[in-house]
Amino acid sequence: MKFALSIIAATGLTLGVVTAVVAQDDPVERRIAIMKDNGRQLGQIVPMTRGEKDFDAEVVAAAFQKLADNAASIDVDALFPEGSDMHAETKAAPAIWEKMDEFKAAMDKLKADTAEVAANPPTELAALGPAIGQVGQNCGSCHENFRLEDN
Ligand code: HEC
C-alpha cells in the first residue's frame, strides 16, 4: 500500500512537471498569452481617454513599453507554425498561412509603431488618443484579416 501510494505520488509529480513544460513551450498558448497581455495594456490606458481614469504618464509609458516588448517578442515563424490553426483554443485564421508575407508585414508594422510610441510616449492626455490610435489600428486590421470571429 505504501509502495503503491508512493508510485502514484511520483507519477503525479512527473506528469505535473511535463504538463508545465509543454504549456510553456506550446506556441499557441504563448501567442495567446502575449495577445491577452496586449489587451490588458490597452485596458490600462483607454479609460483615461474617456475620463474614467486620471491620466498618469508613468502608467502610460509603462503600457506602451510593454506593448512594444510584446510585439518585439513575437517571432512569427516560431509562434505561428504551419498547422497551428488546428489547435482547440486558437482563433488564428487559415489566412495567416495563405498570406504569410502579408501577416508578417502586419506584425512588423505593429513592432515599428509600438517601438516608435514607446520611445516617445504621450506626456499629456491630448496626445494619448492619437498614440493609442497609431498602435490600435494595427490590432484591429490584423484581427479583421487574420483572426476568426468569436463564436
Ligand atoms: C499581425 C497580426 C496581429 C496584430 C498586429 C495584433 N494581433 Fe491580436 N491576435 C492576432 C491573432 C492571429 C490572434 C489569434 C491567436 C490565436 O488564437 O491563436 C490574436 C488574438 C488576440 C486576442 C485574443 C486572445 C485570446 O484571449 O484568445 C487579443 C485580446 C488580442 N489579440 C489583442 C491585440 C491587441 C490589443 C493588439 C494591438 C496592440 C493586437 N492584438 C495586435 C493577430 C494580431
Burial 6-35 (b: 16+ CB within 10 A, else e): eeeeeeeeeeeeeeeeeeeebbbbbbbeeb
Q: Tell me the domains of the chain and their CATH numbers.
A: 27-146 (1.20.120.10)
Which is nearest to 73 in space by CA: 34, 117, 46? 34
Beta carbon of 41 within 6 Å of any ligand 1 atom: no
CA dihedral 77, 100, 117, 91 (to 10 degrees): -80
* C-alpha torsion sign, points 29, 30, 32, 36: positive
- pLDDT, position 87: 83
In the Cβ-directed half-sphere of 22, how many Cα atoms lie within 13 Å? Answer: 6
Residue 12 has pLDDT above 50, yes or no: no
Residue 149 binned pLDDT confidence (cut-offs 50, 70, 90): confident
Task: Decide: 62 in ligand 1 pocket, CB within 6 A.
Answer: no
Yes or no: say if 103 and 96 are a contact pair by the CB < 8 Å rule. yes
> What is the model's pTM?
0.87
Q: Please give the number of the atom of ligand 1 that sits closest to the Cα of 67.
A: 38
- Overall average pLDDT of the 53-57 stretch: 98
Question: Cα(108) to centroid of ligand 1, in Å?
Answer: 14
| Residue with grid cell 503503491, as numbered in its chain | 4
